[in-house]
Every structure is written in C-alpha cells, then in structure tokens.
Amino acid sequence: MIEDLKIYCAPLQGFTDYIWRNTHAEMFGGIDIYYTPFMRMVNGEIPKRDILDILPENNTAPIRPQIIACAPTDAVMMATKMKEMDYHCIDINMGCPHPPIALKKKGSGILAYPDVCKQTLSALAQIPDMEYSIKMR
C-alpha cells in the first residue's frame, strides 16, 4: 500500500523555481511531481521568466506547470503554450488567497465568479490531449 503513495511538492512563488526544484531533486529526491509557481499573463503576454522556469531543458525534475488567470482567453493562451512545450497536464490555480491576486479576480478571487470559472474550464477542455488539476484551499 505504501508503494502507491505519491509525493507532490507545492510551489512557493518566488522561491521554488527550476534551480531550487532541480537542486532539491538531486540532493533529496523522493518527489513524484514538483508543481511550479503560477504562470500568468502580463499585458497580453507570458513573462519570459515564467517561460524560462518551465522550459523542459531547464528542468531535470518532473514538473507540473501551474497557471493563474482571470479570463478564459488568457488560460487558453497559457495552456496552448504549455502544450507546444510538450506538457500534457497543467494545474489551474483557483486557490491563491493573496489579496493583490484575489482582488484581480485570479486565484481564489475567481471563485466569486462561477460563470467565469465555467467558461474557463470549458475553454480549456477544448484543447485536445491536455489534462488539468485545480489548486484550491
């Protein structure tokens, strides 16, 4: 029974970047999947540092990229980019309670808008060969 146990490492924005994840995996190991800090859209684009963090060539440890969005179009753009990078499972952040995030209708802030949640999940479901998990608190 214990052999079926999976261990996932939760992200900490600003700390658990690819350098930390790779070092942790090399020094300690034992993690099945490292979740990345959330990727977001800024002025209609994904910041280069967010892309750099999930580039397959920068990650020796197994990762699951995470996105945070307030609009279905942003979520689809990020998921499409991740699929282009050969990721087939991503995590949707609907749990971050940090006020500067939540007040922008992102993270836990999106939960007050069930129609937007439904539209976002429906739009993401249209991307073939992609699976999702949802972060909530």
Q: What is the pLDDT of residues 90-129, one digit of tens each?
A: 999 999 999 999 999 999 999 999 999 999 999 999 999 9
Total domain count for the chain? 1
**Where residue 83 sits, what CATH number does that domain have?**
3.20.20.70
- The tokens describing 13, both together, are 């924005």
Dist CA 65 CA 61 (whole Å):
12
pLDDT at position 57: 97
Confidence band for 1, pLDDT divided at 50, 70 and 90: low
Expressed as residue numbers, the domain containing 75 is 2-135
Over residues 23-47, the mean pLDDT reads 97
pLDDT at position 113: 98
If phi over 0 gives left and psi between -120 and 50 gives alpha, with beta otherwise, what is residue 70? alpha
Look at the block and give the residue holding tokens 């699929």: 83
Ranges of beta strands (E only) in 61-129 are 63-67, 89-93
